[in-house]
Chains A and B, each alone.
Chain A
């Protein structure tokens, strides 16, 4: 067998439909995932993202259509595809019987892996859980349980990792660490599909984004194309006096617009909106207005 996978796509979904009675949770979805990319399924809760992932990972076995991972059918060749795929489910789960390190060793073992003790230790350290290695999983906080779930999914070193709402209920610090980790994981060879309802998360991480609504995949495009189309925020202020030209020059790189003589409007990306420090657009706008000796009448 070759040392390098040669097909174009790692995951191929053809006309996937999943019905629950009258409800069509996933409606004729086709999608290809390339090796080495980070793909985000973006959509509100209940859009069908988790159902799609369930069909690929084997949690849902009755569906219409065809799903292949590395050319293997997820139903017929599940023994191969489940080894290729890893899943971090959205719902927090825990075992309750074993300490974290032991849980991880069993998890790797189920996949026939060796060296689970070392790998568990490394993952626990990477995810800042090393000091909880001997603690029962029941006693971990919510954030720790989520990190443990990521560790569990990584124990068998999957080639395609699914993260279902990886940062739901996670605080800001941990979220950024997780993002960094996810991009690092991709750089070392793991292809990643994540679901999220945060545009910001998709924008920060993904190479390509698929927008899901009511079970349908409405649009798949590169992050940059989609962001140009959707991912903008804007702010408009009415000032106490007409906008002076010096102010516009100072904000030149934010491309300010003046819909009226006393109105100033800037738009910026989702990620810039969440940036902190003096570079943040809203902060710069306010600073510039203040420096010009003007006041904001309405926002």
Chain B
């Protein structure tokens, strides 16, 4: 290990006791040469530390997170896109052709925003949730916790990658749906803003859950028992008008209803509920989950003791 690589073995001139004899003295003080080398090294690291604002490290964390989901792109990108296209074909074309227009637009157009929202929510949540949680389980989360990155920088690194994954999936579905004849370009700027805010909110939610989670069930619980049902009941496939009372009123407490409808407004111009409220809701969710994640990372709860 040392003999063939003098660069790091440094002043090692021989092995074993002789080396030790040259670098330490009897009273336990380091030998002057070793101390002088250490003092130079400390000054050099201190200089680097004071010049390091952490943004390069944040970029590397983002790059790592991006590389992580791209390594398993079959599961993280291709699978959700394919599944959604299948749904789109089955519900939108075979069943949808038997339905009349909903709120004045073809059922296919009505369906696309809901399916995209379903994917944004799931994938942005799972990306941060899974990534951080698995590094907790493997113990490798210390690699990140020992860095000089601030809580905000950690949040940015993790959620930016999640956001990108959600947007890639959302964009692909949008593209394929468009190629198959869906008309979803009512207000692209609003659509993109809404997609970004919703994905961010759930990426941050995933981060919070993964910090607090103690086993895999906690991570899987949310998509299966909360996000998926709320999304399905949030009007992915139907309009509130089609629900009998009291379900149409009960649905109004479901926050995801506003997200689905917000995106539907951006893509098609129709919505069951006020769009402004939806925008406020997703922006508020970003703020609340962001603040919670920042608090957890700053205090070190569940991550540091």
Q: Are A190 and B41 in contact (CB under 8 A)?
A: yes
Stretch in A123-131, A231-239, A250-258, A286-294 touching the partner:
A123-131
A91 CA to B300 CA, complexed, in Å: 19
Within 8 A of A (CB), among B107-154: 134-135, 138-140, 142-150
| Residues of the A chain whose Cβ atoms lie less than 8 Å from the Cβ of B60 | 106, 109-110
Q: Are A82 and B147 in contact (CB under 8 A)?
A: yes
Per-residue interface assignment for chain B, residues 242 to 285, with 1 indicating a CB less than 8 Å from any chain A CB and 0 otherwise: 00000000000000000000000000000000000000000000
**Interface residue? B98 (CB, 8 A):** no
**Interface residue? B186 (CB, 8 A):** no
| Residues of the B chain whose Cβ atoms lie less than 8 Å from the Cβ of A38 | 24, 30
Q: How many A-B residue pairs have CB under 8 A?
A: 244
> Assuming A61-B300, A181-B2, is B23 touching A186 (CB within 8 A)?
yes
A109 CA to B215 CA, complexed, in Å: 29
Q: Are B39 and A110 in contact (CB under 8 A)?
A: no
Q: Are B2 and A184 in contact (CB under 8 A)?
A: yes
**Interface residue? B20 (CB, 8 A):** yes
Within 8 A of B (CB), among A10-48: 10, 20, 34-38
- Chain A interfacial residues counted at CB < 8 A: 79
Q: Are A128 and B139 in contact (CB under 8 A)?
A: no
Per-residue interface assignment for chain B, residues 37 to 74, with 1 indicating a CB less than 8 Å from any chain A CB and 0 otherwise: 11111111111111011111101110110011001000
| Residues of the B chain whose Cβ atoms lie less than 8 Å from the Cβ of A113 | 48
Q: Are A36 and B45 in contact (CB under 8 A)?
A: no
- Chain B interfacial residues counted at CB < 8 A: 73
Q: Are B46 and A80 in contact (CB under 8 A)?
A: yes
Q: Are B19 and A184 in contact (CB under 8 A)?
A: yes
List of 10 A-B pairs having minimum Cβ-Cβ separation, nearest first? A222-B28, A109-B60, A93-B139, A189-B41, A188-B10, A36-B38, A83-B49, A189-B37, A36-B35, A36-B30
CB<8 Å pairs between A and B, sample of 29 = A5-B39, A5-B46, A35-B42, A38-B24, A59-B142, A60-B304, A61-B299, A61-B304, A83-B45, A85-B146, A87-B142, A93-B139, A96-B138, A97-B67, A98-B68, A106-B60, A113-B48, A126-B2, A126-B7, A160-B42, A180-B15, A181-B1, A184-B9, A187-B10, A187-B22, A187-B33, A188-B11, A188-B41, A223-B28
Instruction: Enumerate chain B interface residues (CB-CB to A < 8 A).
Output: 1-2, 5, 7-12, 15-16, 19-20, 22-31, 33-50, 52-57, 59-61, 63-64, 67-68, 71, 134-135, 138-140, 142-150, 299-300, 304-305
